[in-house]
Chain A
Amino acid sequence: MMDVLHWDGTLSAKDFRIGAFAFAQKWESCNLAFPPWSWLPCPKHPWLAPPKEEGYLSLEKICISRPNEEEDIDQISQIDTGEEETCCSGNEDVLDDATLVQSNHHELHYCDFQIVYSSTFRVPVLYFRAYCSDGRPLPLDEIEKELPACSSKELSKKKWTFITQEEHPYLKRPWYKLHPCGTAEWMKLLFLSDNANPKFEVVLELYLLSWFSVVGQVFGLRLSFKISD
């Protein structure tokens, strides 16, 4: 039974799992605007001992934008347009009157989020990546355009909003993440600034909620319920 006053703001892997489930449950019940988080187990390696139920939370395909029609991030045009002439010769399509021709090409941007436990820092880390509706990944500077205006200020100011691109620990592809090295400090502050002296079990249950209420602000994901109770 840990004393919160002497707590350093971090979580053990087991506590992370407990906290993650509590978070996902609360999210699903209160946050109807968004789909629920799924818990995905970490991929198993045949040559390692089976992990003790390690996993991470995943939230996919959150629409983060509705850009106007003029915006046409056209990566196709940068490749030689000579393609247009060469590829269509001799390959005429059958004339088809049953295909609807759509003039409107709305490009929407989506974001996938993951909450992964970092055993080095012993805190949760928010990983994210963004892409267009056809799957094309979006670079960070384009993602930042979609973020709420207040948060781009936060990004440059606050110490906990340092975004880095690193290889995802399980998926082995570059994802962006909010760097976790300040997390323990401000998590501790978050709980200690409350005058009440909470029991550690309560801290554990609310850990991810509190954590997400801070980091989610970067994306304008506000939780629609009060954390303290």
Chain B
Amino acid sequence: MAKQGSGSILQFAPLQSSVDEGFWHRLSSLKLNKFGIDDSPIPISGFYAPCSHPQVSNHLTLLAESLPSDSNDESTMPPVIRGNRNRCSVPGILYNTNTMEGFHALYKQGLLKAEAMKIWEDIHSGKAVEDCAVLSRVLLISFADLKKWNFHYWFAFPALALDPSATLVDLRPASQWFTLEEAESVSAACNEWRNSSVTADVPFFLVSIDSDSHAAVKHLKDLEACQRDGQKLLFAFYDPCHLPNNPGWPLRNFLALISARWNLKTVRFLCYRENRGFADLNLSLVGEALITVQQGWREQQCVPNAVGWELNKGRKVPRCINLAKSMDPTRLAISAADLNLKLMRWRALPSLNLEILFSLKCLLLGAGTLGCQVARMLMAWGVRKITLLDNGRVAMSNPLRQSLYTLDDCLNGGDFKATAAVRSLQRIFPAVEAEGIVMAIPMPGHPVSSQEEKSVLEDCKRLNDLIDSHDVIFLLTDTRESRWLPTLLFANSNKITITAALGFDSFLVMRHGPGPFNSIPNLKAETENSLAAGMDNLALTNTDGQHRLGCYFCNDVVAPTDSTSNRTLDQQCTVTRPGLAPIASALAVELLVGILHHPNGIFAEAEIANSSSGGNFELPLGILPHQIRGSLPHFQQMTLLGHSSNSCTACCSTVVSEYRKRGMQFILQAINHPTYLEDVTGLTELMRSANSFQLDWDDDIEVADDECVEL
């Protein structure tokens, strides 16, 4: 398609920028490790290549290699870039500011003029003829926000404006301008130029054609020789643009050179473009431009105007790119953690419900040996919302057994465990939403004075609110009494409660059964069979309570009360074998995950591990026991079942309904009167009658289907 000599202004297609992600990575690294707040300009190199596709222009690209090296053993010298046929290097400069305001305050016209000046000087000194790569330059201004990983940037490709602008006499595909023979020869000569490593990245050259239609490609410095020979001469350049009616940007400075240095008025040019690595003379263009600048324009001291700021979708605004996903360490940690869990789901457990784990809110009562381990295990399972409650301070002996603390937490009297634990969790995984609460749990049988009553009631209320606002509660304290109030509050709600308790060399992990007054909405969806089996026993007002799974205190009631054989649970054990806490904590968390994946949740019936179950489980995570008791001396672990007791001091219907009726007054009474609870539940009566029997208890607990003894 020919554009005839209408004298229209020659319009150039602007260069377009493309920045590889690696460039920003390296810039960040340089900024953080080498430059700091030094905002001196940084030498860079851009790259471009001739157009290689009929419908897509090539961009001027910045890569990691465009910047100086960020390794410590190399100095900040401008990179010595040896280009290749796909990478013609363009010298340039980067002004990276330290603030957003600094970025906006840069005097852009001044910077552009300074770069244009360099080109102008190179034209007049002859350097541009020797090393024509300097005819193109790239100017980049940027602000790298390394907190949010936003990179604001703006490119300019300095071009010397002809005044007045050049006019276009003719422009057509090269194949239509050359004769067939000439075209063949030109193609061959250009391909040779492109294939030689010496000239492949020389973007401006001359094509001279002799009377035999034989074409030769020459360096710019051979111009005088070519002119003497009087042959057809074209000024050729690598054109990144693909458009059929416009030449690419590099021609602008080329024309400036031709006019200023050789004072030519008529310029025949070749926009060299390729396809699949070879010269494509259909895509390439040959044109003729008319330069009519005034005499003064060519003087060295008279620097032409400079243009070239890149538009952003047609507007004169900078661009911005956010790379948090690939650079922010916290984001990377999150995606790595997610990946791990997803891999587990993909390879081994397709029914794993990760969403429920991500959204779960866990309350850990106790931040000691058990609390620290449980918190870590929860994070490993993808739980992000963890609240730790503990009123103690980190003691010197703690870091060894309580895996979230280090010596630093013990200094100066010791930090509060709850706060130190949260700090530690955040160091391990910054995306965790952890909260620490320094508070004591009111305990029955520990009377309080009337002055303290008010604060104790507040603590009770606070505990109640905490239980309400979480989905799962772990009872991980070191006393039996401190577990009572949470157990009661739980029995009044529908939360998952898991208890872990340690003896010297044995442990107990159990999930509390539902409270006495909980309805079971899920079971309505179940089949009739299970309904028949389950519904009868889980009536709304439960007088019997036999088939409801027990809580920690139910256990106490039904287990033998003989203190010598029951030493594992009742005492305040502060000395335990170190291996116990990690084992018990791990089991507690795995038990939780099992509950979450059971269709009946806390209402799930208890299962016992036995050899006949083999490897086939109904549920992918395996069985869901009620209790796990382990004994280190035996390296043995067993799953047990304990039903609720209707005399339980924490969860029986009497107690729960008293609480519902009288609320905090009931609690206060329990706290202040040591035997109140036993009296209320009739336990006192029960104990009297039980002690009248002589019972023969085995020392070891056998694996049995039903561990509970009915009294």
Contacts and interface: CB of A to CB of B under 8 A. Distances in A.
Contacts of B10: 98
B539 interface: no
Contacts of B18: 133-135
A87 B19 contact: no
Given A99-B11, A100-B12, A164-B339, A105 B161 contact: no
Given A99-B14, A102-B13, A181-B347, A88 B316 contact: yes
A134 B319 contact: yes
Nearest to B316: A88
B346 A84 contact: no
Contact-size category for A: 35 or more
B317 interface: yes
B320 A174 contact: no
A153 B84 CA distance: 41
Contacts, number: 126
B16 A134 contact: yes
Nearest to A89: B104
Nearest to A137: B21
Contact of A173 (B21, B108, B319): B21
A166 interface: yes
A101 B104 CA distance: 25
B152 A173 contact: no
Interface in B87-119: 103-104, 107-109
Interface residues of B, number: 60
Interface in B243-266: 243, 246, 252
B318 A87 contact: yes
Nearest to A79: B320
B175 interface: no
B9 A97 contact: yes
Contacts of A88: 316-317
Contact of A76 (B56, B313, B336, B339): B313
B458 interface: no
Interface in B293-316: 305-307, 309, 312-316
A88 B166 CA distance: 28
Contacts of A69: none
B317 A165 contact: no
Given A165-B335, A171-B22, A98 B312 contact: no
B25 interface: yes
Given A93-B316, A136-B321, A100 B19 contact: no
A118 to B, nearest CB: 15
Interface stretch (B129-137, B322-330, B374-382, B547-555): B322-330
Interface in A128-151: 129, 131, 133-137, 139
A84 B315 contact: yes
Interface of B: 9-14, 16-23, 25, 56, 59, 61-62, 103-104, 107-109, 150, 152, 161-162, 165-166, 243, 246, 252, 276, 305-307, 309, 312-323, 325-326, 332, 335-336, 339, 342-343, 346-347
Enumerate the 4 nearest inter-chain pairs by beta-carbon distance, A residue then B residue, closest first. A135-B19, A100-B11, A98-B165, A96-B307
7 contacts: A79-B150, A83-B318, A84-B317, A98-B307, A134-B59, A179-B346, A181-B347
